[in-house]
Amino acid sequence: MTRVRLASVLLGAGFGFLLSWGQFIDPDRIRDMLLLRDSYMWLMFASAVAVGFVGLRLLRRARARALLTGEPVSWTVARPERRHVTGAAIFGVGWAVSDVCPGPVAAQLGQGIWWSVPLFAGIALGIVMALRRQEQPARERKPLAALPASNPD
């Protein structure tokens, strides 16, 4: 097993453990968060974003390098595109319908929770569809035909 794969497995297992421990895999907890009945998960999300925001900027300022690849810690900022909004909407609808997002589904599978199997199948189907769409060549757009001039007579 390569160094990158080993690190991926260890980080994935650790992330799954933390999701379970933090109750992020409990559909009742997720539903209460989405219905704004419980602030626990929102506060956890906010603290994770704050730590990541500050931590990445400190790493970039210190000119740190990634542990596995040795590349400098950096990022680029891109303007949101239509595909981002569409993807976010699909993700949000799926999250609202199933009461779970992809990370917790993996943790639920790891715990042997049987009802996570159809959710995982839906995630896998969505990934396959997205990959197939990326492989298709971009549709050629035909220019609009010029409208005939109107005749006032």
Amino acid at 102: P
The answer to whether position 105 is within a domain reads: yes
The answer to whether position 92 is within a domain reads: yes
CA distances in angstroms from 30 to 45, 63, 89, 103, 109, listed in the order given: 12, 38, 18, 13, 17
Please choose, from the candidates 17, 9, 7, the residue with its C-alpha nearest in 3D space to the C-alpha of residue 110.
Answer: 17
Sign of the dihedral through C-alpha 121, 126, 129, 135: negative
Whether this prediction's pTM lies above 0.85 is answered by no
The answer to whether position 152 is within a domain reads: no
The answer to whether position 129 is within a domain reads: yes
Q: Is the pLDDT of residue 102 over 50?
A: yes
The answer to whether position 121 is within a domain reads: yes
The answer to whether position 110 is within a domain reads: yes
Helix (H, G, I), strand (E, B) or coil at 70: coil
pLDDT tens-digit readout, 26-71: 888 888 888 899 999 899 999 999 999 999 999 999 999 988 788 8
Number of domains the chain is built from: 1
Structure tokens at 69: 């690849």
- Which range of 47-51, 78-82, 119-123, 135-139 scores highest in mean pLDDT? It is 47-51
In this structure, are residues 37 and 30 in contact, taking their beta carbons and an 8 Å threshold? no
Domain containing 114 equals 2-144
